[in-house]
Amino acid sequence: MSLGALLLWELPVAAVSVIAGVSGIRWLWQYVWLPRLGQGSRLAQRYGAGSWALVTGASDGLGKAFAQELGRYGFNLLLVSRTQGKLDRMKSDVEAHGVQVRTVAADLSNASDQTFARIAAAAQDLDLSLVINCVGATVHRRYADIPAATLRQLISVNVNTTSVVTHTMLPLLLRHAAVTGRRGALLNVGSIVGRFYWPGTQLYGACKAFVDHLTIPLAYEYRDHVDVMSFQPTVMATAMATGTEPAAITITPQQAAHAALSQLGHCDTSHGHWRHALVAAGLAALPPMLRNRLLLSQALEMGKVELKKGH
């Protein structure tokens, strides 16, 4: 083989090896190294000790795990979810860490101006540094089998609420950055379902793809002052997934929240926990026909469990 032919063959191989090596190291840094580091002092220093964090869907599951972890790190909390009794229990739990807690009980499937005005009013006088849009709703069924009311509710909770809360709270994050000279943070919770075309949960997937497409551009628009992350977990052991969770890929909401917070400020998009990142990589590697078959049958099984739960 001539020198020219050898270079022609070897240069691309070398370039591909370097790209694969760098991607592998970045993956290990993001999913293995960052979550092992203590986060309390980093987050307090970056966003301001004693500043406030708003968490929606905060009384259960992933939102509760975010709120508990941030409370342990010394952030004051503005918690939003549907049921006042659950919020009150969360409030007394988290206040044990010596932080202040405000609550707003609101049904976020009711996308009225009044609903959002109540959240805005509760946040207005706070030094708000962190916003976590965690509330979400799902359904697994063939599209024509989804009741119209469920369809509207899903769009309202996942799409309207995430867009409006983000739109309402960004000025407060920017105010925090201007006044304190520190950064603000916005973490919007999507799902791995939004990263694939997912037969059997197409509506939920479309809503979560919306969240992803809304959020990632904001990371660039506000890069000077606000850390923005689109978070796409896979299955967590929460009420939403009860009875449907495949053991090998299910993690606790605490593991998911911790991993996401450890990557906030470093990445604009993440699956959070390394196990969930592997699931995403595995799904992406499957041929579409096989992936569709697998995803549809799994989604329809989940739909049967949801119907038994009365959803």
Ligand X SMILES: NC(=O)c1ccc[n+]([C@@H]2O[C@H](COP(=O)([O-])OP(=O)(O)OC[C@H]3O[C@@H](n4cnc5c(N)ncnc54)[C@H](OP(=O)(O)O)[C@@H]3O)[C@@H](O)[C@H]2O)c1
> Which residues lie near ligand X (CB under 6 A)?
57-63, 81-83, 86, 107-109, 134-138, 157, 189, 191, 233, 235-236, 238-241, 253
Torsion from C-alpha of 205, 300, 58, 91, nearest 10 degrees: 180
User: What DSSP state is assigned to residue 1?
Assistant: -
Locate 301 and state its tokens: 């099984």
Compare residues 34 and 104 and give the one whose CB is closer to ligand X: 104
Shortest reach from residue 233's CB to ligand X, in Å? 4
Closer by beta carbon to ligand X, 169 or else 241: 241
- Measured from the CB atom, the residue of 44 and 267 that comes closer to ligand X is 267
Q: How far is the CB of 40 from ligand X (least distance, A)?
A: 22
Tell me how far, at minimum, the Cβ of 240 lies from ligand X, in Å.
3
The span from the CA of 211 to the CA of 228, in Å, is: 12
Query: What gap in Å lies between CA 188 and CA 210, rounded to an integer?
Result: 11
Largest CA distance in the chain: 77
CB of 159 to ligand X, least distance (A): 11
- Alpha-carbon torsion angle 198, 201, 204, 209, nearest 10: 0
Nearer to ligand X, 59 or 262 (CB): 59
Of 228, 270, 258, residue with least CA distance to 35 = 258
**Minimum CB distance to ligand X smaller for 48 or for 253:** 253
Closest contact distance (angstroms) between CB of 189 and ligand X is 4
> Edge-to-edge, what's the strand order for the sheet holding 269-270?
101-105, 76-81, 52-56, 128-133, 184-189, 226-231, 269-270
